[in-house]
Amino acid sequence: MNRPWMPLYVGDYLGDTGHLTTAQHGAYLLLMMHYWRKGELPDNDRQLSKITKLPLKTWCEYRPTLQDFFYEGWKHKRIDAELQRMLHVSQKRAIAGQKGGIGSALARMKLENASRSGRMPPRAIAAPSSGVAQANADHSHSHQSLLQARTAPGDSGKQASEKPAIAVSPDLAAYVARRTT
């Protein structure tokens, strides 16, 4: 998962790390950032010294002080909680997006069904005509005769230019049924 930013509660951080040297602050922040991006830290001094950009000897001196901020090896309570929170928010947004997409599909289906039945919903915009009217053409015909002329023989009232039905998933059908009843 892409995690381009990380929350940092400055007051809490400074309250917990007042005893660290400048180099230890840098190492701790680098460990936290790696943990945030990867979801874990390795339990290997060579890899941890690379993450903190410290020589191995210096890392080994700082390790006991920095490990106090972690539990069960290299787990970080605050970052784990923030990652859980971020995951929860992400899932809620995904569900809201799906519901919005279903609502949009439902609205399109209603609009399409209304246009097929010959009556447009109150807020519909008229579609542009597909052909160009001639200035000297006779426009005194009835529209009913035009609709009958378009109907293919053997079709029970269906227009030849009618689009095929849209496939609907069972989930969408259930959602539509709940919304319309």
- 3-20 pLDDT, tens digit per residue, is 888 899 999 999 999 999
Nearest by Cα to 170 from 70, 122, 102, 118: 102
Average pLDDT, whole number, for the chain?
Answer: 79
Nearest Cα residue to 36 out of 74, 88, 89, 92? 74
Interacting residues of 115 by C-beta distance below 8 A, sequence separation 6+: 124, 127
What is the C-alpha to C-alpha distance for residues 126 and 18, in angstroms, rounded to an integer?
A: 69
CA–CA gap between residue 65 and residue 21 (Å, rounded): 10
pLDDT of residue 33: 95
Whole-model pTM: value is: 0.54
